[in-house]
Chains A and B, each alone.
Chain A
Amino acid sequence: MAYFLRRFAHMLFVLWAVATILFFMFRLMPGTPLAAFIDNTTTAEQQAALIAQFGLDKPLGEQYWLFLTNLMQGDLGQSFFFKKPVVEVVMEVFPNSVILTLASLIIAYAFGIVAGAYLAWRRGSWVEGLGIPLVLTTRAAPEFWLGMVLLAFFSFHLGWFPSGGANSSGSDWSSDWQRVTSLDYLSHLFLPAITLAIYLQGLPLLLMRSNMLNVLQEEFITMARMKGLSTWTIVMRHAARNALLPVATAFALGIGGAVGGNVVVETVFSWPGIGRLLVNAVSASDYPLAQGAFLMITAVLVVMNFIADVTYHLLDPRVRIATR
């Protein structure tokens, strides 16, 4: 419990620090943050009114205090471009990012765990000699480039999948649940999810493989072998279970990292997620929206790091006892 509280306080500290850095970054930006709003037709009075409306006439300290108290109440200000509360705009696209992230992570981890265990079992064979360089190559490929190649081949060349977006235009849905479970949505989801999965599977695969190699050297495996169990039973029932724990932690960390890393893949496939929102907001100098989207991505990352640490702590008795 003491550990949990300490770790929780640490999470809040990091969130506060990042929010503060972000606040000052945007305030110290050269030129007025309202540049996107002001054109030749805005009169001096209108400009003053706008500045007052966004609270930019107040001293920096007061602005910062307002920013923090509003943030605490879940108020991220108004988007310049959409003329709507930032929270509303962010929450509209956030589910799409979560679905894309989870879908790709599940594919990546299911494949990575099985393939990693298999590569550990076939250690020293030609499968390993071919597999490891191949995995390293997938980790070295830029995600957006992988997306471009898949898009050119499967969407434009073969015409199997739609080339972008999350839903065909003109479609109408009675509920969000019906929308995201529709065949139309899933066919839009397929290519971006596979692109991300190809990039993400390397980590669980290599992790699973090295854990398996460690576990296979432990005494209970020798014991199982002496009992005359088959290799497959030993690998899958005895070794794999014990090798899974760090992979599970990596999964939680993966959610946090992937939501931020999705930026480029969402852009390639015009997937209406939070990463693409951030890119568009930055391009349009819509700084309250950029700030909000960035904070949201940070929050997911930091919270997932927290969850990963805590579950690791709960699941592994050795860590639990060592830090007691």
Chain B
Amino acid sequence: MRWLNTAAAIPRRDPFAFAGLLLYFVFVLIAIFADSLITHDPREILFDANYDLVRNLAPGGDHILGTTFSGRDIYSQLVMGTRGALIVGVTAAVCVVTIGTVLGLISGYFGGLTDTLLMRLADIALGVPFLPFVIVLAAFLNPSQWNVVIGIALLLWPQSARVIRAQVMSLRERAFIEAARVTGAGPWRILFVHIAPNVLSLSFLYASIAVGWAILTEASISFLGFGPSNSVTWGYMLQDAYASQALGRGQYYWFVPPGLCIIAVVVAGFLISRGYEEILFPKLKD
């Protein structure tokens, strides 16, 4: 598989992209082993020996990052938040890139009316303000992190679809496609067996950016109060901190770490995509 070779070429060619992959790897490990890394139940309201609420504790001792206004352990929430963020990020990325790749393949290969219709649809999707749309979506669907996935899948596919469409338009004129046609392969077989593998690395490029986008959007939506109330995410932590006046009390240990985690995941995606771009389009590396 070509994309596997591309993936393997990253660490040798680009140390930044390698750092990005490494960061992802660390976050994936944290997400998988979150249950054994936490010191307290992230949702449990904690009391001390005298049955007093342990609220607003500074970091140290029993609580690595202190406790929240309602007496919950911040470090455990941060660790659990990794899982939520990665699940939303990866699901959204897979959805949007699958839609973008399939529509880009169809649009570029068949052309004509199909192409025109799909590209008009892309124009409409690009004319919809993204975050406001997800907010309105959250208004009439039940609050859940899947709203973010739906919003991203519905609105962000045109970016990858357009690039893949252009790539397919050039690929379909190549000799090896002609050869496949001569041997009697049908259009769908040509499209998904012969053309698709050649654009997969492009899809991967868009996926690595989409993960970050999804995590940022999920955090924004949770911060605005349209997220699910029963799960702990970084966005929820920030909303909780903001609403409980952690800013006024200067509890930096509460609201700074979730933001740094979001930055780390999103930057990892940027670094990987930059690495891919340079391997896929060497001319860009001036």
Residue numbers of A with Cβ under 8 A of B are 10, 13-15, 17-18, 21-22, 25-26, 29-30, 133, 136-137, 139-146, 148-149, 151-152, 156-157, 163, 213-214, 217, 257, 259-261, 263-264, 267-268, 275, 278-279, 282-283, 285, 287, 290, 293-294, 297-298, 301-302, 305
Contact = CB atoms under 8 A, between A and B. Distances in A.
Contacts of B78: none
A279 B127 contact: no
23 contacts: A10-B123, A13-B120, A14-B127, A21-B128, A22-B136, A26-B140, A140-B267, A141-B262, A144-B219, A145-B219, A149-B255, A149-B259, A151-B247, A152-B247, A152-B248, A152-B252, A152-B255, A163-B248, A275-B132, A282-B135, A290-B136, A297-B132, A298-B128
Contact of A145 (B120, B140, B250, B259): B259
Interface in B167-193: none
A263 B140 contact: no
A275 to B, nearest CB: 7
B135 to A, nearest CB: 6
B224 interface: yes
Nearest to A16: B124
A148 B257 CA distance: 12
B131 A264 contact: yes
Interface in B221-275: 223-226, 238, 241-242, 246-248, 250, 252, 255-256, 258-259, 262-263, 266-267, 270-271
A181 B132 CA distance: 29
B286 interface: yes
B132 A145 contact: no
Given A282-B135, A298-B128, 5 more contacts: A18-B124, A18-B127, A21-B124, A141-B262, A149-B252
A139 B270 contact: yes
B262 A279 contact: no
Contact of B135 (A144, A145, A278): A278
B26 to A, nearest CB: 16
Given A18-B127, A145-B262, A267 B247 contact: no
B219 A282 contact: no
Nearest to B140: A29
B69 interface: no
Interface of B: 16, 120, 123-124, 126-133, 135-136, 138-140, 212, 216, 219-220, 223-226, 238, 241-242, 246-248, 250, 252, 255-256, 258-259, 262-263, 266-267, 270-271, 286
Q: For the complex, would chain B's binding face be called helix, strand, loop or mixed by DSSP majority?
A: helix
A262 to B, nearest CB: 9
Nearest to B154: A21
B224 A263 contact: yes
A244 B256 CA distance: 36
10 closest Cβ pairs, A-B complex: A260-B129, A140-B266, A145-B259, A14-B127, A29-B140, A152-B247, A282-B139, A17-B124, A140-B267, A140-B263
A285 to B, nearest CB: 7
A260 B270 contact: no
Nearest to B246: A152
Nearest to B245: A156
A121 B128 CA distance: 37
Nearest to A28: B140
Given A152-B255, A263-B132, A282-B138, A305 B262 contact: no
